[in-house]
Amino acid sequence: MSLIDRVRKHAIDLELDLKVVEVCDRIVNDEKPKLQLAYLFAETGDNQDSVFHSAGELQQSGLAQQFLVIGSEGAENFLGYSQWTTFLKDRGNIDAVTAVPIDGKLRVNTLNESVSLLNHVNGEQNGLYIVASYFHQLRAFMNAASIALGQRISTPIFNYIGRELPWEEKVMHSQGRGLTRDEWLRQELITIGEYQLGGLVRIASFQDVLRYMDQRRIPGRAE
Domain-wise residue ranges, the chain = 3-215
Residue 47: predicted pLDDT: 94
Domain 3-215 indexed as CATH 3.60.21: no
Euclidean distance between CA atoms 56 and 88, whole angstroms: 8
Partners of 38 in the β-ladder: 67, 129
Euclidean distance between CA atoms 159 and 152, whole angstroms: 19
| Strand-pair category, 170-172 with 178-180 | antiparallel
Q: How confident is the model at residue 165 (pLDDT cuts 50, 70, 90)?
A: very high
pLDDT at 75 exceeding the cut of 90:
no
Residue 219: predicted pLDDT: 60
Q: State the sign of the Cα–Cα–Cα–Cα dihedral 113, 116, 119, 125.
A: negative
For the full predicted model, state whether its pTM sits above 0.85: yes
- When pLDDT is averaged across residues 50-58 and rounded to a whole number, the result is 95
Residue 200: predicted pLDDT: 64
Q: How confident is the model at residue 198 (pLDDT cuts 50, 70, 90)?
A: confident
